[in-house]
Amino acid sequence: MAVRAAVAGASGYAGGELLRLLLTHPGVEIGALSGNTNAGQRLGALQPHLLPLADRVLEPTTPEALAGHDVVFLALPHGQSAAVAEQLGDEVLVIDMGADFRLKNAADWEAFYGSPHAGTWPYGLPELPGGRAALEGSRRVAVPGCYPTAVSLALFPAYAAGLAGTEAVVVAASGTSGAGKSPKPHLLGSEVMGSMTPYGVGGGHRHTPEMIQNLSAAAGERVTVSFTPTLAPMPRGILATCSAKARPGVTAESVRAAYEKAFADEPFVHLLPEGQWPATASVYGSNAVQVQVAHDAAAGRIVAISAIDNLTKGTAGGAVQSMNIALGLDETTGLTTIGVAP
């Protein structure tokens, strides 16, 4: 019997991607769709690619609208999820696609978000060590950020195997949908086409402490991350280029073996054959993660690169994957590793 799911924030990019996935999920019935400024509008005007839902009308995001569902997905601006979640019963599975419940360290939250910490929920990245166990049966899930998903999956095997030094350097390119649907001058098509540009340089991006949290857990010691995000002229996708010093004795073979072991049984993470490199186009619209790793002997570094779709595995697909685990469904239900290309 299908569970009934509500989506709060159905007019944005995360909400739209979630609906795209839920429409073909055999175990989910789509319930209430809500928004704020767009309440009252037809979904056909807001998400014209979702034709089966074109005539659905957005409700305001209220406790009444979200009541009576088995699962509630929250795609809200940060800081708003706690108030909504409190009004939902403990037996309802609440999946927060925002940042509010990802960080364990309250000081990190306050330093990067400037508001009181709302708490910590089970973290929705099942591929991390112990990741699945934390989600099974849970009724609260914090979906990881898109960059931390790409970076953590690229680097955790090196840390878990003790191969990498504690100072990671990450440069990641993201498609523009990661910046949301709210119109701003620097996100205009005229500005982004033909342009690569960084932002949040020097440690200021809010996803940095989340990466540190994940990699430090894998390493068993404090890892620092120098993170530079860049905006790329494409609608979707993240390519994360991650590196760290190779510890003494590390070889190309030991690196490869660690990654093969880490992903051997993973349904969504695909370690590419040697010589082939990840491309965001190959995971467009898919929940797959393409990973490749190299040992640069001359520079003494391990270089690990991952490609994800920021809206699928990086947000909505990750949310569905976690929902499946929490509900005891097959983890891959409603998700694929088939991209739309070219």
CA–CA–CA angle 215, 309, 59 (5° rounding): 105
- Residue 77 φ/ψ, nearest 5 degrees: -60, 150
- Rule CB under 8 A: say whether 337 interacts with a second copy: yes
State the nearest-atom distance from the C-beta of 268 to a second copy, in Å: 9
Give, as ranges, the residues between 189 and 208 that touch a second copy (CB under 8 A): 189-199, 201-203, 208
User: Which two structure tokens, joined as six digits, stand for 20?
Assistant: 């795209």
Pairing relationship of beta strands 167-174 and 28-35 according to DSSP bridges? unpaired
User: How far is CA 101 from each of CA 7, 113, 234, 288, 290, rounded to the nearest angstrom?
Assistant: 18, 12, 29, 24, 27
- Rule CB under 8 A: say whether 298 interacts with a second copy: yes
Exactly one of 139, 235, 247, 333 binds a second copy (CB under 8 A); that residue is 235
In terms of CB distance, is 5 or 94 closer to a second copy?
5
Exactly one of 164, 288, 326, 327 binds a second copy (CB under 8 A); that residue is 288
In terms of CB distance, is 234 or 257 closer to a second copy?
234
Name the DSSP class of 287.
-
User: How far is CA 53 from each of CA 19, 261, 316, rounded to the nearest angstrom?
Assistant: 9, 42, 17
CB 102 within 8 A of CB 297: no
- The stretch among 72-80, 138-146, 149-157, 220-228 that binds a second copy (CB under 8 A) is 220-228
- Biggest CA-to-CA distance, the chain: 62
Binding mask 7-26 for a second copy (x = CB under 8 A): ------x--x---x--xx--
- Rule CB under 8 A: say whether 181 interacts with a second copy: yes
- The stretch among 28-36, 51-59, 88-96, 213-221 that binds a second copy (CB under 8 A) is 51-59
The catalytic position among 14, 146, 154, 304 is 146
CB 320 within 8 A of CB 335: yes
Binding mask 64-83 for a second copy (x = CB under 8 A): --------------------
- Rule CB under 8 A: say whether 273 interacts with a second copy: yes
User: How far is CA 202 from each of CA 18, 102, 218, rounded to the nearest angstrom?
Assistant: 32, 22, 24
Distance of CA 174 to the CA centre of its chain: 12
- Rule CB under 8 A: say whether 247 interacts with a second copy: no
In terms of CB distance, is 135 or 308 closer to a second copy?
308
In terms of CB distance, is 82 or 187 closer to a second copy?
187
Please report how the helices 252-263 and 146-160 are oriented relative to each other, as an axis angle in degrees rounded to 10: 120
Nearest alpha carbon to residue 187 among 175, 203, 169: 175
- Rule CB under 8 A: say whether 29 interacts with a second copy: no
- Rule CB under 8 A: say whether 257 interacts with a second copy: no
What residues are labeled active site?
Answer: 146
